[in-house]
Amino acid sequence: MDGGFFLRGRGSVPKVRFDLYQRTERRAGAGYLGAIRRLLVLFPFRTFGCRIYIVSVSGSIQSMPKREVLRGPNIPEHAQPFPPAVKIGNMVYSAAVGGDDPNSHELPDDIETQVRNCFQTIRNIMKRAGGTPGDIAKMSISVRDRDDRAHVNPEWIALFPDEEDRPVRHTSVHDMPPGRLIQIEFIAVL
């Protein structure tokens, strides 16, 4: 048999074979044992009733994209030792974005201003990452008081005006450090 992988179906899904190794190669190490030596990954997982085996017969090891820390003068830093956001490949992951003013980095007392600051900082992070807020796939919003959720929706609608093109969102109530009334985490795909 040649090297490759199978998409083994269940029920009405057919069994399909994808060949990755050609038997006609005549170079050193190109035989069956050479192909086995070059296998880097055999990872089974299930999806939609099928088992898929991904097999790599490449002779090189591919490294994960480098992590890029996203910082800037209009992106407030955390007091803790971690960055405000990172970009890995085409993915952007934020830490908790607080209500600090993106320019002065001071924390206002009222929820309306903190919410507005959070959403502006998110815009700034996405711009620094080379994307737009439209690239955001998921947001997790934490508020100190359940009644504060009403202050989030106007900024949410301003950032994502098309109701058919909004990220998923989860809003929950959490204890937060003193003075903090809202924090938002997000994941984006550029």
Tens of pLDDT, residues 77-135: 988 899 999 999 999 999 999 999 999 999 999 999 999 999 999 999 999 999 999 99
Percent of the chain with pLDDT over 90: 64
- Please give the CATH superfamily to which domain 67-189 belongs: RutC-like (3.30.1330.40)
* DSSP 3-state of 172: strand
Please name the residues in contact with 177: beta carbons below 8 A apart, sequence gap of 6 or more: none
Q: What pLDDT sits at residue 23?
A: 45
Report the b/e string of 38-75 with b at 16+ CB within 10 A. beeeeeeeeeeebeeeebbbeeeeeeeeeebebeeeeb
Based on its alpha-carbon atoms, the radius of gyration of the chain, rounded to whole angstroms, reads 24
Under the banding of pLDDT at 50, 70 and 90, the label for residue 46 is very low
Q: Is the pLDDT of residue 140 over 70?
A: yes
- Whole-number Å distance between alpha carbons of 132 and 127: 6
What is the average pLDDT value for the chain, to the nearest integer? 81
- Whole-number Å distance between alpha carbons of 100 and 102: 6
Q: What pLDDT sits at residue 78?
A: 87
Q: Is the pLDDT of residue 143 over 50?
A: yes
Please name the residues in contact with 67: beta carbons below 8 A apart, sequence gap of 6 or more: 86, 87, 88
Where helices occur in the chain by DSSP H, the ranges are: 32-37, 111-129, 149-159
Q: What pLDDT sits at residue 79?
A: 85
What is the pTM assigned to this prediction? 0.68
Domain ranges of the chain: 4-55, 67-189
Express each pLDDT in 8-25 by its tens digit. 555 554 554 444 444 444
Q: What pLDDT sits at residue 161?
A: 96
